[in-house]
Structure 1
Amino acid sequence: MSSNLKDLITVETLDEVHKPVMDFVISQCLYDFYLNQLKVVNIRGIVGTRTELEFIKLLLAYSPMLESMTIVKYSGERISESVLRQLEQASEHVKFI
């Protein structure tokens, strides 16, 4: 992962695939790693697992330039914008789609 990352797109995958990615990202973020250039996040195919939600929280907390986040949830209730707004956000200007 690079601090120069500007767009991030994830697609439908299994939770056992997300866990190693999350472990890596969290280990990097614990050492003052920020996604300083990340502006657009598109996440498609989530089902609402804890790992997926932690990944969203991490992206919001460590992306100070984030402008928009699109989340497409394929099952269950959608994640409301009010819930997302309550999470810690490094960017004051992020729009949820």
Structure 2
Amino acid sequence: MAGNLPEQPRRDQAGADTPRPSYYVRNPWRNVGAGAFAGASTVLTVTTLFYALGRIPLALVGLSLLVAALAFGFGMYARRRAARIDASIFGGDR
């Protein structure tokens, strides 16, 4: 059935010849960025909880802060990549 589509572009209500791409675009960097920020937040929350209960030594707190900082930095990188991909798809207007 997919091979029976017409070759001409469909006209939308505004009369544009080419259809505008939909807002939802599969961009895996959005999920990666959100996951990195969630991971950093989880590491900080768990570290704070266990340090407050006295179950984690101070050296591991420093290591956890380093891991959280690295996850946050990777989240910023992923967010920038997602914005770059969206800009290339939408013509740089976003």
TM-score (norm 1): 0.24
Determine which structure has the larger strand proportion and give its number.
1
Larger radius of gyration: 2
Determine which structure has the larger helix proportion and give its number.
2
